[in-house]
Structure 1
Amino acid sequence: MVLGLALRGLAMLGYRPALFFWADSFAYLESAARPVPGAFRPLGYSLFLGALAPGPGLVLVTAVQHLLGAGLAVAAYALLVRRGLPGWGATVLVAPLLFDEFLILLEHMVMADALFTALVAAGVLVLLRRRVTPATAALAGLVLSLAALTRTVGVVVLALAGARLLLRRTGWRVWGAFAVAGLAPLLAYATWMSATSGVFGLTRADGLFLWARTATFADCSVIRPEPRLAPLCPDTPVAGRPAPPFWLWAPWSPIKKVHGDRNALAGRFARAAILAQPGDYLAAAGSDLRWLLRWERTTSREAAMKRTNPYWFPFEERPLKPSVRPVAEAYEGGPAATRIHEPYAGLLRAYQRFGYLPFPLLTLALAGTLALAVVRRRGDALLPGLAAAALIVAPSFLAGFDVRYVVPAIPLACLAAGLALGPRSRRLSCGNVPA
């Protein structure tokens, strides 16, 4: 813990007040000042930023996020030890939570990932208690609902948790408490969205993201879309098409030519493409998942020096663009551009070259954990294991792969491994119903 906090201290001292991620960070800050449901992301993280706004600016945000990361390691360690794992074994399994540089990087960034990671892992941890009562089930449902309002992929984990409670035959009071607490915030937010935009949902971009996914393989000679959807047909040969994000954000994207409800039209095109080309859809998602076989998670140091890689602790300072500076400085109450201070930043940059859990090891460990959980009939390991797998796989099918999307699965994978490897414990219970 001391060493893990020391690494976070280097981030706090070396990169002040925080790191920014392209335009996303400033969109979150703008929504924190004017919280209205937006098109591309739910408001959960912006509300978190707004709650911290009376404090000393972005330094408080990064400090809280670092503490959430360290606290998550403590909670995971405590649960594994209480489940009978020796202290040294629990320490080994939670070490990635303390020492993975990518987790530390995201904790120091004005982005939703650190908060989402803490919320989704906390919700699963609550359900892994030996005795799940209606009160603890409601707490888990509420926390996982907040995770979904931070990043919409959290809905998948909420559904997995609900299915797990059903399979354990917990009784209607436990499952009902979980369902009410988990669904009420989502319904309330969707109602708010409907009142402000006329769309009942968590975002107004699910169709756009799915269209960008299908744009990498869509063949309109096979799909035969209706005339209104024809402008969404990519005209670039499949072999030369860029990744999904380019189709969503690039100025040359066909989506820019569409008039009317772009999200609804894009969603209709995407569903038609998937039904007409299911094999190509699976192949495109599988191709994205090949990133999991790459030992280095990010590009080279040379690319980082050219400012093309946001997933490195930067080597040089970068001024904020005039278009985003006002919103950042309004939140900070003064200059907000990241200032680099040596030697702290240099030590962290040296550490990031090797201080991470490679994705091939994570993937292999997670697959082995799920297999071991089935063989040993360790049902308690399946919830965090399947949740980790869902967080890794789902984005490639719904939007596109990004190495950032894999990181929230690390705590869940470590939890699953500890529960699968640990000694067989007493039977768990939910209220008065045997598990």
Structure 2
Amino acid sequence: MLPGNGHLAFLAALVPAVVLRALAMLGYRPTLWFWADSFSYLDAAAHPVPGTFRPLGYSLFLAALRPGHSLALVTAVQHLLGLGLAVAVYAVLRRRGLPGWGATAVTVPLLYDEFLILLEHMIMADALFTVLVAAGVLMLSRQDVTPPAAGVGGALLGLAAITRTVGVAVLMLAAAHLLLRRTGWRALAGLVLAGALPLVAYATWMYGTSGTFGLTRADGLFLWSRTMTFADCSAIRPEPRLAPLCPATAVAGRPSPAHWLWGRWSPLARVPRDKNALAGRFARAAILAQPGDYLAAVGGDLRWLLRWERTTARSSRTTKTNPYWFPFERRPLKRSARAAAEAYEGGPAATRPVEPYAGWLRAYQRFGYLPYPLLVALLGGALVVASVRRRPEALLPGLAATALILAPPFLVGFDVRYVVPAIPLTCLSAGLAMAGPTRQRTSPKNARTSDSSGCSNAAKCPPLSSSFR
């Protein structure tokens, strides 16, 4: 629907967005890496067996592209998916009556946010998850959700959930949303069945390989790491089997939750068996014994949303090593990671900055993003306007964005990239909240009824524009 009059504003905005992604492709070859996570995804793509810490959705995506022997192909596909999502959001908003400039303004963060571009250029699940969850919610953000649309939306959210487990929360939220909107049992059944199919299939696969029916075997470990920032065993009084999981460091000197999972000094090393189950029991005991400290820890994490900057880097020295900045220089791969990367690439795979393209992108990243305080304000405003104007279709993306922002601090801890999937959903919610109701198509039967009632006379009919107020 894009070619033609009325879309010039969006086309003018789309071209620079394509250029920015071209700069990423030219300036950082073949891709960007994120610590050990990227290489774990590649290992799982070569040997797809459900693992402990993360589901295999993204690794299966990598496996599908593996015959190309090109990491650049992966990043190119991810960039195209990101641009396609922006086009889809724009198209839906135009169909809902927003003018071209208004729909374009709403989609600007999807086109230009440097963090979205960075994650699209990285071997990480975030870009794929963002597209899947936003596309699924987009299918369900209609005034009249048909059973086929609900089925497609549910399937996309199910695939998102086996890419990152937080997608389960969005799927449950979508089901509750359709139930409250009374869209009919066919639409609700279509959503639930299509969404559950990927989850059940994956959990069955997991059960066949490990004996655990689930998406991961680390939910207890992640929640335990969350409690390590405040847990006090003198207040918890854990049972003897859980005592080895007590932290020995004073609260003031404890690192962030993620360090407790991967550090060699972690108390997890003292637990030989059933680590996930025992860690989960300890975490629940800690939360019940210290609910105030738990909420305070979550609130402390959420304060990061008030920072204008996207990262914690404050000096040029730390910026050069921050994984959330386009790097300044070549970063050699560690020996333990090189094999998986080079096997997939079919050759050298270390990130190679190429000037001047890399420098242009580094200059852009210093200002080309939506600060999180503005994101939170936009999200809150969208939810308020959607409620006041009675736009239930705008509430689902807004509530899904809220769930994606709030869930990580409660379950594992805050990371700036965990907020990124909320950006497209927030923009969609804001656009739908401002849009008018869709014009209802009149069937021939209804048209005859209207004619017989006298509405064929223009003087007696309400103005057409009243349908778009």
TM-score, structure 1 as length reference: 0.96
Secondary structure of the structure 2 residue equivalent to 1:281: helix
Contact conserved, 2:302 with 2:409, CA < 8 A, in 1?
Answer: yes
Name the Cα RMSD after superposition.
1.2
Matches within 5 A, 1:178-257: 178-257=191-270
Residue 327 of structure 2 is matched in structure 1 by 314
Letter in 1 for 2:397: P
Distance in 1 of aligned mates of 2:36 and 2:430: 36
Contact conserved, 2:320 with 2:327, CA < 8 A, in 1?
Answer: no
Residue 177 of structure 2 is matched in structure 1 by 164
Most deviating of 243-252 and 144-153: 243-252
Letter in 2 for 1:2: V
Distance in 2 of aligned mates of 1:301 and 1:9: 28
For CA contacts below 8 A with separation 6 or more, give which structure has more relative contact order.
Answer: 1
Residue 370 of structure 1 is matched in structure 2 by 383
Secondary structure of the structure 1 residue equivalent to 2:241: helix
Distance in 2 of aligned mates of 1:95 and 1:232: 47
Q: CA deviation at 1:301?
A: 5.0
Distance in 2 of aligned mates of 1:305 and 1:219: 34
Secondary structure of the structure 2 residue equivalent to 1:234: coil
In structure 2, relative to structure 1, the CA distance for the partners of 1:157 and 1:427 (3 Å cut) is farther
Letter in 1 for 2:188: W
Give yes or no for the alignment of 1:261 onto 2:264: no
Letter in 2 for 1:385: G
Residue 9 of structure 2 is matched in structure 1 by none
Q: CA deviation at 1:306?
A: 4.5
Q: CA deviation at 1:220?
A: 1.0
Distance in 1 of aligned mates of 2:112 and 2:294: 36
In structure 2, relative to structure 1, the CA distance for the partners of 1:184 and 1:171 (3 Å cut) is same
Distance in 2 of aligned mates of 1:56 and 1:198: 33
- Unaligned 5+ segments in structure 2 are 1-13, 442-469
Distance in 2 of aligned mates of 1:305 and 1:375: 43
Secondary structure of the structure 1 residue equivalent to 2:231: coil
Residue 28 of structure 2 is matched in structure 1 by 15
Give yes or no for the alignment of 1:404 onto 2:411: no
Q: 1:132 aligns with which of 145, 151, 172?
A: 145
1:308-353 C-alpha deviation (Å, 9 max, x unpaired):
x100000000111111101100000111111111110000000001
Residue 89 of structure 2 is matched in structure 1 by 76
**Number of matched pairs:** 427
**Following TM superposition, where does structure 1 have runs of at least 4 consecutive aligned residues deviating by more than 3 angstroms?**
303-306, 424-428
Secondary structure of the structure 1 residue equivalent to 2:410: helix
Distance in 1 of aligned mates of 2:198 and 2:179: 21
Residue 28 of structure 1 is matched in structure 2 by 41
Q: CA deviation at 1:208?
A: 0.3
Most deviating of 160-169 and 2-11: 160-169
Residue 279 of structure 1 is matched in structure 2 by 292
Identity of aligned residues (%): 73
- Unaligned 5+ segments in structure 1 are 429-435
Residue 85 of structure 1 is matched in structure 2 by 98
Q: CA deviation at 1:371?
A: 1.5
1:149-202 C-alpha deviation (Å, 9 max, x unpaired):
000000011011111111111222211111111111101111111111111110
Letter in 2 for 1:247: W
Q: 1:324 aligns with which of 310, 327, 337?
A: 337
Residue 105 of structure 1 is matched in structure 2 by 118
Contact conserved, 2:142 with 2:393, CA < 8 A, in 1?
Answer: no
Q: CA deviation at 1:56?
A: 4.1
Q: CA deviation at 1:300?
A: 3.0
Secondary structure of the structure 2 residue equivalent to 1:323: helix
Letter in 2 for 1:384: P
Q: CA deviation at 1:133?
A: 2.0
Distance in 2 of aligned mates of 1:27 and 1:166: 38
Q: CA deviation at 1:398?
A: 0.4
In structure 2, relative to structure 1, the CA distance for the partners of 1:293 and 1:312 (3 Å cut) is same
Secondary structure of the structure 1 residue equivalent to 2:35: coil
Contact conserved, 2:231 with 2:247, CA < 8 A, in 1?
Answer: yes
Q: 1:383 aligns with which of 396, 400, 405?
A: 396
1:40-86 C-alpha deviation (Å, 9 max, x unpaired):
00000000000011114101100000000000000000111111111
Letter in 1 for 2:244: P
Q: CA deviation at 1:242?
A: 1.2
Contact conserved, 1:42 with 1:152, CA < 8 A, in 2?
Answer: yes
Secondary structure of the structure 2 residue equivalent to 1:414: helix
